[in-house]
């Protein structure tokens, strides 16, 4: 938990009601983004962020910091996302099946566009479609790790998984999203005979997570220096990860902010 959160929580627990609003305002955008991309419905996302923030408002006074505040909030938001989907698709299949095939979200066509002139709007739509096409169990790890910037350990805590399981799902999610974005982020048609190259996308993803040692890293760098096809693939993953991180912005709709403020105010008045 960063220092700012710790100080605000301490102030809230000492009776400073303004600290609550500051904490919720700070973390609400990330919760809303997560709910929007997991539920894939703006109205459901509004419900998720509202329910999460109200639950947080109720629980923060007793929060003891056993986990980071963001980890705690994303775990709450995830539970509300699951409840939203429980009535429409079996929980085990939607959130936990390793064999579930990704959904069929459509991507904008990359045809007839200059290689270096993809618009931000087109690329953003492509990324949204690629992330949305992931099965929920892969989508959530990518959102928490690459969009919201949580550590693999924090993601594991949110999801109740081992760090190894998180990384395994993350590598697959990154590869799938990069594959769907390749027509938009790749700058070369370089090719090589099938089966002659290592899986550099998986290797680079493992490198980002600190899973490969110096010798394996050096071997990958030597290969990239001599193989344009793999260098392009690796660069496209780098750009994909940068695009994911750039999603870390946005605001909670004004009507949701107003509803949450009113609900918190009403709850405070009722408790007096």
Q: What is the mean pLDDT of each run of 10 residues along the chain (272 residues)?
A: 78 87 89 92 90 90 86 94 70 39 38 48 88 95 96 96 97 96 72 70 94 92 92 92 88 82 69 52
pLDDT of residue 152: 96
Can you name the CATH fold of 1-93+251-272?
Rna Polymerase Sigma Factor; Chain: A (1.10.1740)
pLDDT of residue 253: 83
pLDDT of residue 196: 75
pLDDT of residue 57: 87
User: Phi and psi for 45 in degrees, rounded to 5?
Assistant: -65, -40
Cβ-contact 135, 100 below 8 angstroms: yes
pLDDT of residue 162: 97
pLDDT of residue 184: 83
- The set of residues, in sequence order, having a beta carbon less than 8 Å from that of 36 and lying 6+ positions away, is 42, 45
Question: 48: how many CB neighbours lie within 10 A of its CB?
Answer: 27
Kindly list the domain boundaries of the chain, sorted by start residue.
1-93+251-272, 101-134+160-247
Count Cα atoms within 13 angstroms, Cβ side, for 26. Answer: 16
- The set of residues, in sequence order, having a beta carbon less than 8 Å from that of 228 and lying 6+ positions away, is 188, 190
pLDDT of residue 262: 79
pLDDT of residue 161: 96
**SS3 annotation, the chain:** CCHHHHHHHHHHHCCCHHHHHHHHHHHHHHHHHHHHHHHCCHHHHHHHHHHHHHHHHHHHHHCCCCCCHHHHHHHHHHHHHHHHHHCCCCHHHHHCCCCCCCCCCCCCCCCCCCCCCCCHHHHHHHHHHHHHCCCHHHHHHHHHHHHCCCCHHHHHHHHCCCHHHHHHHHHHHHHHHHHHHHHHHCCCCCCCCCCCCCCHHHHHHHHHCCCCCHHHHHHHHHHHHHCHHHHHHHHHHHHHHHHHHHCCCCCCCHHHHHHHHHHHHHHHHHCC
């Amino acid at each position: 938990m960063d220092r700012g959160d710790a100080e605000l929580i301490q102030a809230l627990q000492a009776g400073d009601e303004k600290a609550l609003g500051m904490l919720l305002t700070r973390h609400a955008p990330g919760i809303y983004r997560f709910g929007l991309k997991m539920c894939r419905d703006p109205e459901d996302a509004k419900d998720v962020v509202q329910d999460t923030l109200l639950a947080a408002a109720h629980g923060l006074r007793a929060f003891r910091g056993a986990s980071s505040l963001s980890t705690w909030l994303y775990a709450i938001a995830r539970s509300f996302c699951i409840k939203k989907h429980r009535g429409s698709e079996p929980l085990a299949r939607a959130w936990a099946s390793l064999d579930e095939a990704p959904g069929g979200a459509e991507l904008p066509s990359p045809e007839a566009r200059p290689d270096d002139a993809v618009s931000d709007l087109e690329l953003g739509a492509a990324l949204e479609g690629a992330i949305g096409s992931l099965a929920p169990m892969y989508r959530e790890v990518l959102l928490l790790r690459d969009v919201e910037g949580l550590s693999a350990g924090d993601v594991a805590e949110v999801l109740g998984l081992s760090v190894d399981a998180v990384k395994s799902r993350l590598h697959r999610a990154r590869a799938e999203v990069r594959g769907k974005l390749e027509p938009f982020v790749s700058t070369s048609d370089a090719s090589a005979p099938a089966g002659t190259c290592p899986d550099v996308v998986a290797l680079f993803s493992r490198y980002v997570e600190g899973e490969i040692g110096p010798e394996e890293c050096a071997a990958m760098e030597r290969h990239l220096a001599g193989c344009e096809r793999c260098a392009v693939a690796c660069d496209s993953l780098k750009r994909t990860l940068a695009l994911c991180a750039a999603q870390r912005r946005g605001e909670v709709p004004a009507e949701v902010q107003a509803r949450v403020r009113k609900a918190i105010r009403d709850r405070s008045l009722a408790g007096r």
